[in-house]
A = this chain, B = another copy of it.
Amino acid sequence: MKIAETPSPPYYAVIFTSIRNDNPDGYAETAARMVELATEQDGFLGVETAREQLGITVSYWRDEESIRKWKHHTEHTLAREKGRTAWYTSFKTRVARVERDYGMDAG
């Protein structure tokens, strides 16, 4: 997992913050599959994820339209429903427009 190499702003970020229950059944496989599937979508720019007590996954998108399409992707919709009923105690999704960014690269 690396820092996402996103283009110059503006672009969009979907910040997904979650707390898991203790049911492992199928979670890791589905989480990995959703990352794999997201990277194949038109408008996908990158993803960053980390989990301690809290899980944070930020995915980056070209525009609102690509976020909307990904939200309505059938396999993603089924995975979200499973998340709601089987894997998460609570979660929050925030859709945000990235207006500026700056940073430091290795080396």
- A residues near B (Cβ < 8 Å) are 1-4, 6, 9, 13, 15, 17-19, 48-56, 58, 84, 88-106
Copies of this chain, tallied across the complex: 2
> Which B residues lie within 8 Å of A93 (CB)?
101-103
Q: How far is the CB of A8 from chain B (nearest CB, A)?
A: 11
> Which B residues lie within 8 Å of A54 (CB)?
1-3, 48-50
6 A-B pairs whose Cβ atoms sit less than 8 Å apart in the complex: A2-B19, A49-B54, A90-B105, A90-B106, A96-B98, A97-B97
> Which B residues lie within 8 Å of A103 (CB)?
90-93
> Which B residues lie within 8 Å of A92 (CB)?
3-4, 101-103
> Which B residues lie within 8 Å of A106 (CB)?
19, 89-90
Q: How far is the CB of A59 from chain B (nearest CB, A)?
A: 11
